[in-house]
Amino acid sequence: MLDFFKRYQTPLLFCLLLLCALLLYSNSLRQRQHTSLFEKAVLQLASPFYRTIDSVCRDSARRWNDYIDLIDVRQKNIQLRKQVRFQKQRLLQLRETEQENIRLKNLLGFVQTSKLPVLPARIIAEDASSWFRTITIDKGSTDGVVEGLPVVVAEGIVGRTIKCGHNSSRVLLVIDASSEVAALVQHNRTRGITRGKGAQLTFDYALRSMDVHPGDSVVTAGTGGVFPKGLPIGTISQVVKHSYGLFQTLELIPSVDFSRLEDVLVLLPESP
């Protein structure tokens, strides 16, 4: 027996490792909303690096725009160019401030209409792979964020928190294929479920008899237990009716432009 183990030590350990990996994955499947100690530790470890890289990237981009292209200025134009540079910098800052102002005003408008306490957060990273649609925000459990909280912007829903570290959290975007949100068509209250499709959404289980058209707005139904009722999800772009079946499928364009997301709001649970 011992000889057998000695002879096949490597393949046996290999199989054991594979079994461990499989068990870990299958166990995680049952506890998706749970952030393990390992995940918390790695998120915590990565958090300062994220912040540093984020601020360095922003600074570098700003400096690149403002300074690098002005290095080879001729001597006699230095004074003039300095002035231009200063004005450009001021203009860029003002534009940035203007954009930020517009974004924050929108968010503020949402905050004033929202009945739930909100936590503003900044996006600091995206999903590590190309297959999934998640983002990382700079707020974590120390700010009161827990798994399963809705994340929104003024235009509509963004996603929900799935993993929380101390100072950062990961958010599953509604456009991810594993994301599902209970929804209804705003004007005739047709119920269904929206699912992510990468860049767009589909609205499934809409009764075939219901009269829906491209351009109709779709909002959250408030029955899924995550998102409050009435938040915009998207607009119907296409209605797919098969020749048979009880339901029709609707293609949606999300109301949020996910490629331009910078700041988001986490809707915190009401304090008892």
Give the interface with another protein as residue ranges (CB under 8 A). Answer: 10, 13-14, 17-18, 20-22, 24-29, 32, 36, 38-39, 42-43, 45-46, 49-50, 53-54, 57, 61, 124-132, 134, 136, 162-163, 170, 172, 176-178, 195-198, 202, 258-259
Closer Cβ to another protein, 136 or 248, answer by number? 136
- Which residue number, 22 or 78, has a Cβ lying nearer to another protein? 22
Query: Minimum distance between the CB of residue 26 and another protein, rounded to whole angstroms?
Result: 7
Distances (CA, A) of 223 to 11, 161, 164, 235: 50, 18, 24, 20
* CA dist 3 → 6, 8, 13 (Å): 5, 8, 15
Minimum separation from the CB atom of position 125 to another protein (A): 4
Tokens coding 55:
């601020």
By beta-carbon proximity to another protein, the closer residue of 61 and 78 is 61
Q: Would you say 57 or 84 has its CB closer to another protein? A: 57
Per residue, what are the HEC states of 87-107?
HHHHHHHHHHHHHHHHHHHHH
Alpha-carbon distance 116 to 119, whole Å? 10
- Give the residue with the Cβ less far from another protein, 27 or 93: 27
At residue 151, what are phi and psi to the nearest 5 degrees?
A: -120, 130
Please report where in the chains the tokens 């929804």 appear, as a residue: 183
Give least dist CB 46 to another protein, A. Answer: 6
Rounded to a whole number of angstroms, the minimum distance from the CB of residue 175 to another protein is 10
**Most distant CA pair in the chain: distance in Å?**
88
Please tell me whether residue 144 adopts helix, strand or coil conformation: coil
In whole angstroms, how large is the CA radius of gyration of the chain?
Answer: 24
CB of 211 to another protein, least distance (A): 26
Minimum separation from the CB atom of position 47 to another protein (A): 11
End-to-end CA distance of the chain: 62
Task: Provide the minimum distance between the beta carbon of 222 and another protein in the complex, in angstroms, as a whole number.
Answer: 22
Identity of the residue, 209 or 259, whose beta carbon is nearer to another protein in the bound complex: 259
Given the complex with another protein, which of 41 and 92 has the nearer CB atom?
41
Q: List Cα–Cα distances, 140 to 136, 148, 199, 203, 271, in angstroms.
A: 10, 13, 26, 31, 17
DSSP 11-51: HHHHHHHHHHHHHHHHHHHHTTTPPPHHHHHHHHHHHHHHH
